[in-house]
Structure 1
Amino acid sequence: MSFSKKIIAGVAAVATLAALAPAVAMAEGDAPATQQQTQNEVKIFNVMVHANGGTFTSGNNTGQAGDYMVTVQDGGSLVSALPQVQRDGYLFAGWSYDKGGKSPVVATDFVSANTEVYAQWTKQKPVVDAKQFNVTVSTNGGTIADGDHKGEAGDIQVSAAQDSVLVNALPQVQRDGYLFAGWSYDKGGKSPV
C-alpha cells in the first residue's frame, strides 16, 4: 500500500469513528446536548390577571387591587392558576378573556400562550334576610384544599345564600394525578355548574 493510500485510509478511519461517536454515546444513555435541552425545557407562560375593580384575596398580591401576573406551565389549567378576588357591593361572576365578559374562561381551558383575563362582576342585590341553603359537595375521589373542611374527602356540606353564585360557595378541591375540571350537578359531568 502506498503512503498516500495509507493516509487516505487513516483519514477515513478517523471520520468513521467521529461519525459513530454520537451513536455510541446515545447507546450508553447520553443524548446529544441539543436533544437533552429540548427534553428538559418546560414552557412557562405569563397570564396577566385584571381584578377589574376588585382586590385580590389570595396569592402574593392579597389585599391589593389592579393587575397581577401569574405564571403557568404549558398545558396547565388556567382556572386553577388564577387568584381569588372580591369587590365590595358585587358578586364575582367568573373570568373572561375580554373586559366586557363576552369570552368567558371555562374550567377546561389550558394555557398554551401568554394571555390576559379579567374578573367579571355582578352588582349585588341588597340582602334582605336571605335564606341559607345546604349544598352537599362530593369530592369524587379528591380532597378539600381549603377552608373549614381542608383535607376531607367524600361528601361534605357547605352553606349558600339564596340568589348567590353557587360556585363562590364551593370549596377548592384537589386530586393527585388529576386537574380539577369544574363542578357538575351529576357525577358523570354532563350537567356543569
Structure 2
Amino acid sequence: MRQLLLNEVIKILSNKKYNKYTKYKSQNKITDSTVGKNTKMNIIIAIAIGIVVIVALIIMNPTHLEALDGYTETNQQLIGTYDLVPEDSYYVGTGTLNGIVHARFEARQNGKISDTVDVTKKFFKIVHKDVGALNGKVEAYKRTYKKGSDIKTHFYYVLYVDSSSKIKDCGTLSTDEDDSDD
C-alpha cells in the first residue's frame, strides 16, 4: 500500500501539468554573458556615482576663505599698532597651507613678544612703505561682519614693511611647531 501511494505521488509530480516551474524554464534562461555585462555595467555606474558624490562634497565644503561669503563688514576698530619682530632679517613669512596663502609674523609691545600669528590672505594686507628707523609695524583691527542676524568677529592685520626684501617666501607651510626655543 505504501509503495502504491508513493508511485502515485511520483506520477503526479512528474506530470508536466502539475510542474509549475516547467512553464517558465525557457523564459528565465540567463546566460553567462548577460550576467557579466550587467555586473560590469553596475560596477561602472557605482564608480561614476561615487566620483560625482566625492566631487560634490569637495565643491560644497567651504574653505576658510569662503567662511565670510555673503557677510557684510559692519564695523572696524583699531586695536593697536605694534613693532614687527625680525627673524633672520625678515619681518613676515608668507606661504601656502592647504592651497591658501598665509602670513606668519611676531609682534612686540612694551618689550613683550607675541606668539607667532598665522593669518590667511583674507585677513591681512602687506603695505610696502619706507618706515625707516621705525622698522616693520603691524596695525591690528577688530572687524565685525553680519549676515542676517548672524554676527562674526575677526582680526585684520595691516603689515608695514620697508621693502619686499623684508618678506620671506616660505613656500609650502606646515602646521608643525618649529620653534625649539621653549
**Normalized against structure 1, the TM-score is what?**
0.29
Greater C-alpha radius of gyration:
2
Higher helix share: 2
**Normalized against structure 2, the TM-score is what?**
0.30
Higher strand share: 2
